[in-house]
Structure 1
Amino acid sequence: MKYTEEMILSSESGYCMPFEERQGKDVELSLGYGEQTDPVTGKEYFHHGIDFDVRCYTLAAVACGIVSGVGNDPALGICQSIRYGEYEVTYGHLSNVFAQFGQRVKAGQTVALSGDKLHIGVKFKGEELNPLEFLTMLYGNIRAMQQPGFTGMAMSLPTDYESDRREIEELMLRFLPHYIEDLQRGAYRLPAHTEQSLRHIFTMGAAKEYFYENMPSMANPLGLGQKAMPLACKVQNLLIADFLHYLALRHDVYLSTMGVDIKKNSMTKP
């Protein structure tokens, strides 16, 4: 699978690798992804992840996410899955789990402890990936954040919806995939005035050379820097407003702070 723009992983808390190498000890991949040959039986089989020889290592969440599963698998032993947007990352062969099902986590937060080894599996929208590609993307995001002027993305920007921030983030975890899917297949279209406003903002941004102030990356594909923050905030407000408009029209879902009059208006305009 090739990485596309929709596969960009956004995380308010930043990014980190699943574990840190201990001083004086290089961690090696003990089993790769894909077709493998059993050293004992000689039979070929498909390995749905990658394994590391890391005994009793503390494991971290790699971004903002929510624990989507904790269990005991016949092949993976004690395992834990965490959903990061459309990604789901599974840690297997664990000796202990510190973040339970439904718990929200942030980048760098300790979530588990490996056993005699560690298995990592990755899926995007349910489709299996080679975890090395995902980890490479993570590393690129981490390096991008270390660049001078990097300011993060998405909900880390100040918006007109700060008082409802937590509720909007929860709604996004639940409904954002449906919103994107409906946009792609034409089941929902941006209101004309919203689309026109976005076109104006991006035209103005290009004219003022707001884009590519920093080196573009998976974490910051337009290379936005401090100069572009006012423009980015306007875009953020428009997109959140349209997302809430979509929820009202397609799912009859509203923010808990919305009054009756606001609900009526949201059915006709964002």
Structure 2
Amino acid sequence: DSNPQLSSCCQLLELIFRKGLQQPVLALVHRDYWHCLEQLPQLDSCGSPISLALEQTSACKKLLTPQGKGRYFLRLALKRRILGSVVQHLLHTTRLLEVCEVYELVPCRELGMVLRYLGGRVFVLDLIEGSQAQVDRFVLPGDIIDEINGVSLRNASNGQAGVVLARFKGSPLSLRVLRWRADDGAVYQPVVKLLQALKQENPSLQLISRPQQQCRGYGGKEVLQHGIPLVLEQNQPSKVQHVGVACLDILHHGAR
């Protein structure tokens, strides 16, 4: 701790771990390197020293943000000299990364989702007929609610999602959703056994994936995440001079 180079060294490590992280468009909650680190114990190749450090970080009640958890873990990794192993696991070519998207809602009384707590995860079991979630079809059965307004639901106990929702009653909601299946049809392998258990408990559970043409329509801001990269690839001269004002105006009217 007395080394004057420690602070700058840790800043460089954070820059390295954040390199290449993609953020959802117009998301209220930013994805940080901790969200990748906390997935390591799900892999069989992850060594016990790394798992222990991750468990100790997750269990620390003083850590409230992903950045704080990431910094605490880096400190443990440096102290225990396991940082090299952490990097090797993150760079392993067979590592599977989940598809993460953000679902934003205006203030509402209830989500319209039936949730099931299993294996430390909060699964969407069903959508209530006529609810906003059922109309939007953004979240589907089998998907995982990972965060609500930045509050992690990893290792959540029964009913914890309801407690978090009650805390943000009357406020806009931002749900961080982990897809059980990517658009290319690939199933997120770490949740396969949990999905099989859900299917055994609920034979009527229908695991369906979103149609790939869904983002080709109009009306939802979710199309921006796919449309903006396509527009940039065309390399056409800019025609909109007040993009920021326009986006804010769209969000304002959408919230109303």
- TM-score in terms of structure 2 length: 0.26
Higher strand share: 1
Higher helix share: 2
